Each structure stands twice: as C-alpha cells, then as structure tokens.
Amino acid sequence: MVVHVNPEAHGDERGALLAFLDAERGGVRRALLGLTDEQAATRPSASELSLSGLLKHVSETEQAWLARAKQVAPEIQRSEENWHESFRLVGDETVESRLAYWEKTARQTDDFIRSVPSLDDTFPLPDEPWFPDGQRVSMRWLLLRLITEMSRHAGHADIIRESLDGRTAFELVALERGETWG
C-alpha cells in the first residue's frame, strides 16, 4: 500500500497520525474508482460485504467516533433494528453521496484533532458491553482506532475489488494518478 506523506506531518505527531489515517481512507476510496453504483454493491464472496457497504460503514464509523470524542450524539444512530443498513446503501444513497458525506466527516475529524489542546486529552468510551465500564481514552487512541478501522476495511476493499475485476491496489493507485500499471 502506498502511504502518501503530508508535508505538514514532518516532526508533528498529529500530522503524522492524520496522514496515516488519510492514506488508509484512500485505500477504501480507490477501490471504488471507475465502478458504477451497481458494481460497487456487488458481493463477490461468501461475505455480505460490498464496496459501497464498506464505504457506508467506514464513513458512519468515523463520524460516530468523532461524535464520541466531541461528546455529542452521532448524526446516525444505529441499533439492532437498523444495524443491517450500515453495510448497504438504502433509499436514494449513492456511492457519490456517501463519498461526499465521508469527505465532510474526514475534514471534521482533521479539524477537531488539530483543535484539541493535546492528544492526551480524553473522552469516555460509550456504555457498551464490549467496552470496560467508565474507561476514558485519549485523542491519540482515537486516531489509532480510526487508522486500525480504516486499514482493516481497506484490506477488505482490496479483496472485493480484485474479485470484481482483477484490479489490484497498485493498479488503482496508478489509475488514480492517471497512469498505467504493468
């Protein structure tokens, strides 16, 4: 995977972490290059995952973690009743609209991280059975959590895209740059 280094990242922990986060976001975004909404919704494996579903999931996940860090309610509330909608486009949602939503969320994440006084500042983990009661985590932890989440799903996106049309991550980086690969 190609990691693009943001010139602002040199010597700055925030910048470095945000650059790695953006590189992993790029892995998911690139997997969608040149596909129609119908192709992006295809599930080429035994899994229920599709590229458009992964896009929706990572955009909602980033927004939810950002809301937790800001200690406000997430824009989209997921429950057992609507969880299935977090991995597929519904209604009038399109890949383009979800990419725009994610871009807005990514800018908000970057702006928020740059605005906090310290990466050591903390916020409480949500009251969910999979988190320890009463634990607080740092903004640094938030960035590492988001990098891990994006990286995991960028790997899924690579596999799905290669299953759809044989294009690899390296070919997609070249396509994004207007170059050819191989």
Per-residue pLDDT averaged across 92-106, rounded? 97
* Integer Cα distance of 115 and 118 in angstroms: 9
Would you say the C-alpha torsion 119, 125, 126, 129 has a positive or negative sign?
positive
Q: Which residues contact 129 (CB under 8 A, 6 or more apart)?
A: none
Least confident of 67-71, 99-103, 157-161, 174-178: 174-178
Q: Provide the 3-class DSSP secondary structure of residue 89.
A: coil
Domain 7-176: which CATH class? Answer: mainly alpha
Quick one: average pLDDT of 11-18?
Answer: 90
50 in Cβ contact with 63 (< 8 Å): no
Max mean pLDDT among 76-80, 82-86, 90-94 falls in 90-94
Query: How much is the pTM?
Result: 0.87
> H helices of the chain, where?
13-31, 37-40, 51-70, 95-115, 139-165, 169-176
Domain boundaries, the chain: 7-176
User: What's the confidence (pLDDT) of residue 4?
Assistant: 52
Structure tokens at 47: 């899994």
